[in-house]
Each structure stands twice: as structure tokens, then as C-alpha cells.
Amino acid sequence: MLPEPHRLHRSADFTRAVRQGRRMGRHDLVVHAYARDDASCVGVGEPRFGLIVSKAVGPAVTRHRVARRLRHICSEILLEVPETCDVVIRALPGSANLSSKDLQRQVRSGLKKLGYLGAVRDARS
């Protein structure tokens, strides 16, 4: 499960990450990343993740399975993403047929090419 401070909730945050951030397309998903620098932005100091899994991915059971896998991947890479980064992952229809390992490889690849996947930070208490 992805901890509450690390989730994107507001539509404006999703829109900002998708429209103003950088984008890297992979075969079965698109990774959008936006570096927050505004001190008035809620949640500054914590990387935040959002998921977009549309009906094109498949029926509800399939969409929820893909979303669970992506949330788990986000929680694993949490300490490797910069603290002021908003990441939105858009699942494409092919993501329904991938294993968790393949999804993780594509997420990591997209973030790495964008320059948002770096060294592991110290865990905060």
C-alpha cells in the first residue's frame, strides 16, 4: 500500500503533472513527472504518485489488478524518487497482460530516462 502523504488526490495535481511535467512513453505505460518547486504546494518534501488506469485497459477486475501492481511498484521505488516530484503513471491497454516484473521494469525505465530515479535516500522516521 502506498502511504497517504505519497498519493496524488487533487485533480489539479494530476493535471499539472501531465500537462506541465515531462513525459516518457514506454511500450505499455506512460510516465509523467513534474518537479514541484513552489513552497505553497501541499505535500512539498514528499514524492507523490498518481495512477490513471482507464477502461481501455480492461474490465474492472483487470484495471484494479493493474492499479494494485503499480501502487506496489511505487511504494518500492519511493526512496529513489526526488522528494519534490509528482509522478503520474498512465497504464495503456497492454499493461493488463504484463507481469509485475515487466511493469516495474517499464516504470523504472521511464523514470530513469526522465532523470527522476536516483540513488536511494535515507528513510525518514
The 10s digit of each residue's pLDDT in 38-90 is: 654 555 578 999 999 999 999 999 999 999 999 999 999 999 999 889 999 99
Residue 123: inside a domain, yes or no?
Answer: no
Residue 120: inside a domain, yes or no?
Answer: no
- CATH number assigned to the domain comprising residue 22: 3.30.230.10
Residue 122: inside a domain, yes or no?
Answer: no
Residue 98: inside a domain, yes or no?
Answer: yes
Nearest to 89, CA basis, from 35, 23, 45: 23
pTM: 0.88
Which range marks the domain in which residue 12 is found? 4-114
Residue 103: inside a domain, yes or no?
Answer: yes
Confidence of residue 103 (pLDDT cuts 50, 70, 90): very high
- Write down the pLDDT at residue 57: 97
Residue 124: inside a domain, yes or no?
Answer: no
Alpha-carbon distance 22 to 42, whole Å?
A: 20
- Write down the pLDDT at residue 40: 46
Q: Residue 113: is its pLDDT beyond 50?
A: yes
Number of domains making up the chain: 1
Helix axes 60-77, 100-114, angle to 10 degrees: 50
Phi-psi region of 58 (alpha: psi -120 to 50; beta: other; left: phi over 0): left
Residue 77: inside a domain, yes or no?
Answer: yes
